[in-house]
Amino acid sequence: MDFSFTEEQLMIQDVARRIAQEKIAPSAEYFDRTGEFPLENIQLLGQNGLMGIEVPEQYGGAGMDPISYVLAMIEIAAADCAHSTIVSVNNSLFCNGILQNGSEQQKQKYVRAIAEGKAIGAFALTEPQSGSDATAMRCRAVKQANGSF
């Protein structure tokens, strides 16, 4: 079995490394100090396929594999963990949830915008008794007769 990286995997790693070293690392201290959101950096990552690495091309993503995602995340995290968290949440938690459970319209509207760096995704996970411990959550959505939850 060949465990070497493909040309595409190395390419996305190189793109991530370049952006991380040239844009993210030099600005990380500023964003940590001010608490500002690094919008321009995140948009740049999206424009280069890094906000939707595993998102299929039909939804604006790079259509790459998990190894590509990990290689890019290593480079981004080496420059700044806050940036890597934003990239991770958008790639994994936001895009994957909609890709798995969303309608075609939702995929085109929301996933495409995130993958292309035109919007920022988020998710909420907290309850008074569990905080961010997903295994301790008790809340559930129940569909009502009128279609609401």
Q: What is the pLDDT of residues 42-86, one digit of tens each?
A: 999 999 999 999 999 999 999 999 999 999 999 999 999 999 999
The Cα 148–Cα 129 span in angstroms is 25
Please give the model's pTM, rounded to 2 decimal places: 0.83
Residue 133 pLDDT: 78
86 with 123: CB under 8 angstroms? no
Residue 35 pLDDT: 95
What confidence category does residue 24 fall into, taking pLDDT thresholds of 50, 70 and 90? very high
Cβ burial of 17 (10 Å; 0-12, 13-18, 19+) is middle
Please tell me which residue, 34 or 97, carries the higher pLDDT value: 34
Torsion-angle region of residue 93: left (phi > 0), alpha (psi -120 to 50) or beta?
alpha
The Cα 41–Cα 114 span in angstroms is 14
Residue 62 pLDDT: 94
pLDDT at 101 over 90: yes
The CA–CA distances, whole Å, from 35 to 39, 50, 113 equal 12, 23, 24
What confidence category does residue 95 fall into, taking pLDDT thresholds of 50, 70 and 90? very high
Question: Which residues share a beta bridge with 23?
Answer: none
The Cα 116–Cα 65 span in angstroms is 17
pLDDT at 26 over 90: yes
What confidence category does residue 149 fall into, taking pLDDT thresholds of 50, 70 and 90? confident
Mean per-residue pLDDT of the chain: 93
Q: Which two tokens stand for residue 64?
A: 């790459």
Q: Which two tokens stand for residue 107?
A: 């995929």
Digit-coded pLDDT (tens) for 102-146: 999 999 999 999 999 899 988 777 777 777 777 787 877 889 999
